[in-house]
Amino acid sequence: MSTGFFEGIEKVVYEGPDSTNPMAYRHYNPDEIVMGKRMEEHLRFAVAWWHTFAWEGQDPFGGQTFVRPWHPQDDMERAKLKADVAFELFDILGVPYFCWHDADIRPEQGSFAENLRTLNEITDYIGEKMEAGGPDLLWGTANMFSHRRWMGGASTNPDPDVFAFAAATVKSCMDATHKLGGQNYVLWGGREGYETLLNTDLGAELDHMGRFLNMVVDYKHKIGFKGTILVEPKPQEPSKHQYDFDAATCIGFLRKYGLENEVKLNLEQGHAILAGHSFEHEIAVAAAEGMLGSIDMNRNDYQSGWDTDQFPNNTPEVALAYYHILKSGGFASGGTNFDAKVRRQSIDPADLVAAHVGGMDICARGFKAAAAMLEDGGLETALKERYAGWESAEAQAMLGSDLGSIAQRVLDDNVNPEPRSGRQEILENYVNRFV
């Protein structure tokens, strides 16, 4: 039986680029074959429970703006109503996946035992809905940043009891993710960082975080969870300095603690920008190390300088992101999660639907442009030409040589390189043909 929350809103269908229906897909056609695979299987869209259903519209200057029938979110019956509405949206959109934090799906009841009981109950309830034909779980995660107990960090907290509470919480969320057949398990450390070094033992905190993540990996193997463990980089916010600053920092951390073959990255567009990078930079860094896991495709406002978590709306940016994803072989267990919120004035159920429709369409459009560029091969050819010198036996031998012998050859052969154009504008013009 329908909750009636989305009353009057029909299932969203693909109508093609000429459609003027605001609630139709113009580019996202799940069954269209692109590079030998259905679009749905390439993009693997997921709705994020927290922003779409749990967020109440607060900002630093004002409280709740959304009034939903499942508010206040402190009761199991209303948590189930929220789940009912969630599955109605999944159905309207036709998305294949969703994601959650424990705190989004169950009420917070203070003690670990109570939280565990309600988590198990609500994930059983969600499991029934999945079996009845709902979408699959892309990833589960623990919210270890909202409740006051986490204010000084979770696994990096100076208090060992908080470390213990974090371990118990992650175990419960991994169990629940495993039970629901989740494809990945994510750790984002919003409070794994610090405000001031005056009260922080940075080295000890990193060691605790490394040990914690090793326990997570051990537990994954113990319970036979086949999904991928992912960490999500972000440079700051809520902590002033976050340890998982960006992809490169995370990769260094994972190597230091022996996790490079066990853990991959969940990269978020807005976090890349906060770290001073482009999204494709973060994707390319992770891909170069074989650590590209999944993405959160939500952008920031470029003027306000903080994590505004908006739905994507810039095709050229999205196209370059998918270009690097496709180039590295596409998603395996990962997907495209909308860790995105509608604006706090967008209070209608229709706004929630339209936001996802637009986000999915932009992604589809960028994705098709990326696939077309890859199939055309123009960028790959240009790249090959630019590095062609390295194909010679002599150049390869140099890499196994030493500074002295190389210097001798430079003298002997009078090596005097001729600068060559990087052709950036020509390549940018090339990209603009596709987007």
Measured over the CA atoms of residue 115, residue 118, residue 122 and residue 127, the dihedral's sign is positive
339 is in an annotated binding site: yes
Return the residue of 102, 244, 307, 361 that touches ligand XLS, per CB under 6 A: 307
Instruction: Determine if 104 is a binding residue for ligand XLS (CB under 6 A).
Output: no
Exactly one of 339, 353, 363, 370 binds Ni ion (CB under 5 A); which one? 339
Between β-strands 241-242 and 193-194, what pairing exists: parallel, antiparallel or unpaired? antiparallel
Region of 99-107, 155-163, 246-254, 333-341 interacting with Ni ion (CB under 5 A)? 333-341
Q: Which of residues 130-159 bind ligand XLS (CB under 6 A)?
A: 141
By C-beta, is 145 or 323 nearer to ligand XLS? 145
From 70, 163, 165, 188, residue interacting with ligand XLS (rule: CB under 6 A):
188
Q: Does 244 bind Ni ion (CB under 5 A)?
A: no
Q: Which of residues 316-375 bind ligand XLS (CB under 6 A)?
A: 339
| Residue 18 half-sphere exposure toward CB, CA atoms < 13 A | 0
Beta bridge partners of 33: 38
Whole-angstrom distance, CA of residue 236 vs CA of residue 192: 10
For the annotated catalytic residues, the residue numbers are 101, 104
- Peptide bond just before 72 cis, omega within 30 deg: yes
Give the C-alpha separation, 208 to 216, whole Å. 12
Residue 141: contacted member of Ni ion, ligand XLS, none (CB under 5 to 8 Å, by partner type):
ligand XLS
Q: Write 67-72 long-range contacts (CB < 8 A, 24+).
A: 67/347, 68/5, 69/3, 69/5
Pick from 192, 205, 246, 268: which binds Ni ion (CB under 5 A)?
A: 268
Buried/exposed 125-155: b ≥16 CB within 10 Å, e otherwise = bbbebbeeebbbbbbbbbbbbbeebbebbbb
**Radius of gyration over every alpha carbon of the chain, rounded to an integer in angstroms:** 24
**For Ni ion, which residue of 88, 175, 192, 296 counts as binding (CB under 5 A)?**
296
The distance of closest approach from Cβ of residue 273 to Ni ion in the complex, given in angstroms and rounded to an integer, is 11
Report the binding-site residues for Mg(2+).
232, 268, 271, 296, 307, 309, 339
What residues make contact with ligand XLS under the rule CB under 6 A?
101, 141, 186, 188, 232, 234, 268, 296, 307, 339
